[in-house]
């Protein structure tokens, strides 16, 4: 495979732009151990053997079972392997909770330091304030003490990002983003201008109707057939080609689909196909700002974050909350 999309830094580490997201290794609904432990171990080992050096995980995936799988499959770890985790995602954070979350990840994985940890928010529409600052400060302290190499953010608005970079270096941002869901375009743009890695989660759409609609879209199917690829690969390639700071972490439970996901590094979109997908996928859901992306990130002027109606904002929060509470990003593969 062609260098898995090239390289981009997460803090001091250069990682391949196509990585692996471990959430789908957990049981159904992100709870408990996998259905097939041996296959899960094979997937992890095959990913690293194929050149993957960026694995995304969390201690709450499978109630700790996913981190245990990563340790069983890959320890002792390759020196170049960047393991990125996340903490947060609960309301009413108490002092020390994020620190304990980091320590639980370290213990389960059997490492002394993580490449980065993302401060995960429940609601990207929330106004950043003292609670956000306090949580960020906990991660900064963990970095200064050597427990993590870099501080990241997840499920945040551009406003959160701007507030965070005033206080510390941010090495990555992980937000919901795909062909059908582009509310974080302004965050991606800001990250690109600052050379911050942007890691889209649910890269094939939110589970259910959105993902099915995206992967069965006639235009996507037409171009996939023409290029001799799959709709999933085409959707991932579209993301990879948006900007050099985009890092992919598609997840899977099978070695067959792992090969398919990593194969996006060898799929090449011509500019007209990229533009057509960008424009025509508006029938799924897009913002007008995306239509100005055609010349690359440098030509896109960051605009104001879109002001959603109260109803739309509430529905989006509910949709993301349903994903977060009980489902992986897309049907288990």
Q: How many CB atoms lie within 10 A of CB 290?
A: 18
Q: List the single range of 25-29, 221-225, 234-238, 296-300 with lowest mean pLDDT.
A: 296-300
Output the pLDDT for position 205. 86
What's the mean per-residue pLDDT of the chain? 85
The helix, strand and coil proportions of the chain, stated in percent and rounded to the nearest 5, come to: 50, 15, 40
Output the pLDDT for position 279. 84
Pick the residue with more confidence: 292 or 193? 193
pLDDT per residue over 82-127, tens digit each?
999 999 966 667 768 999 999 999 999 999 999 999 999 999 999 9
* pLDDT surpasses 80 at 256: yes
Crossing angle for the helix pair 271-280 and 231-242, to the nearest 10 degrees: 100
Q: In the numeric block, which tokens belong to residue 261?
A: 């996901």
Whole-number Å distance between alpha carbons of 76 and 268: 35
- C-alpha distance from residue 190 to each of 34, 63, 76, 119, 269 (Å): 37, 34, 36, 18, 24
Whole-number Å distance between alpha carbons of 109 and 299: 42
Pick the residue with more confidence: 164 or 265? 164
Whole-number Å distance between alpha carbons of 198 and 216: 26
- C-alpha distance from residue 44 to each of 66, 140, 150, 174 (Å): 11, 30, 23, 21
Q: Within the chain, what is the greatest distance between any pair of CA atoms?
A: 54
* pLDDT surpasses 70 at 294: no
- Alpha helices for 56-152 (secondary structure H): 65-74, 97-109, 130-144
pLDDT per residue over 169-195, tens digit each?
999 999 999 998 999 999 999 999 999
Long-range Cβ contacts of 97-101 (<8 Å, 24+ apart): 98/135, 98/138, 98/139, 98/142, 99/138, 99/141, 99/142, 101/59
Active site residues: 61
Q: List the single range of 11-15, 93-97, 239-243, 276-280 with lowest mean pLDDT.
A: 93-97
């Amino acid at each position: 495979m062609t260098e898995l999309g090239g390289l981009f830094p997460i803090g001091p580490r250069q990682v391949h732009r196509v990585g692996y997201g471990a959430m789908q290794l957990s049981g159904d609904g992100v709870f408990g151990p996998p259905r097939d432990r041996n296959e899960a171990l094979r997937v992890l080992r095959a990913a690293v053997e194929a050149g993957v050096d960026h694995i995304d995980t969390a201690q709450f995936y499978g109630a700790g079972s996913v981190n245990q799988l990563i340790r069983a499959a890959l320890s002792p770890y390759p020196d170049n392997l960047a393991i990125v985790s996340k903490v947060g995602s609960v309301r009413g954070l108490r002092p020390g909770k994020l620190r304990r979350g980091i320590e639980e990840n370290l213990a389960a994985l059997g490492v002394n330091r993580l490449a980065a940890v993302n401060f995960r928010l429940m609601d990207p529409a929330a106004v950043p304030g003292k609670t956000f600052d306090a949580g960020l400060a906990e991660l900064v302290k963990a970095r200064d003490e050597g427990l993590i190499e870099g501080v990241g953010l997840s499920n945040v608005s551009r406003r959160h990002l701007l507030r965070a970079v005033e206080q510390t270096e941010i090495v990555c941002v992980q937000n919901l983003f795909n062909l059908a869901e582009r509310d974080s375009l302004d965050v991606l743009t800001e990250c690109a201008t600052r050379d911050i890695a942007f890691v889209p989660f649910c890269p094939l759409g939110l589970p259910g109707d959105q993902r099915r609609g995206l992967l069965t879209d006639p235009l996507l199917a037409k171009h996939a057939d023409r290029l001799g690829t799959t709709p999933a690969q085409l959707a991932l390639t579209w993301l990879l080609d948006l900007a050099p700071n985009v890092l992919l972490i598609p997840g899977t439970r099978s070695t067959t689909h792992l090969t398919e996901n990593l194969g996006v590094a060898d799929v090449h979109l011509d500019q007209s196909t990229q533009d057509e997908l960008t424009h025509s996928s508006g029938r799924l859901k897009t913002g007008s700002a995306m239509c100005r992306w055609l010349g690359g990130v440098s030509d896109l002027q960051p605009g104001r974050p879109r002001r959603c109606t109260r109803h739309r904002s509430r529905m989006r929060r509910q949709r993301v909350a349903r994903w977060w509470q009980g489902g992986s990003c897309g049907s288990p593969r």
